[in-house]
Homo-oligomer: A and B are copies of this chain.
């Protein structure tokens, strides 16, 4: 069994952790998920680092849903920097999965976007751990987790 961490927040308006846990388990019977919940996105870096350094996780999915206000954007920026530091300090990957409340205009779309993005990043996590060659196969494909892909630009080297 490979231990994978999932951290989400009480701030988010969708239970992102539940989605991630179920998807990871559906993707592989070899994944043991350790889940934690923190208040907001700025609490994610430490929680993710502890899962990597103290709980034996090989990878953490850090899930958050920043609000629409300028202060929310600043918090998300600080959290993102913290997640990068945490991964560099622990030398293991943290996949940031943020859905901004103002990416879409109604709650149903927000819910659907969230489910789709979390699932597609769970697949990224699975690939990173078990089949990294699948990510290289997708290199330059213009993939967009949660949304329509931008797609690759043709041309010959």
Q: State the A residues within 8 Å of B (CB).
A: 8-19, 22, 35-39, 42-43, 45-47, 49-50, 53-54, 67, 71, 73-75, 77-89, 91-96, 100, 107-108, 110-112, 115, 121, 124, 128, 132, 135-136, 138-145, 150-155, 157
Contact = CB atoms under 8 A, between A and B. Distances in A.
Contacts of A142: 11-13
A17 B36 CA distance: 28
Contacts of A84: 42, 45-46, 78-79, 81-82, 85
Given A39-B124, A150-B13, A75 B80 contact: yes
A53 to B, nearest CB: 7
A10 B87 contact: no
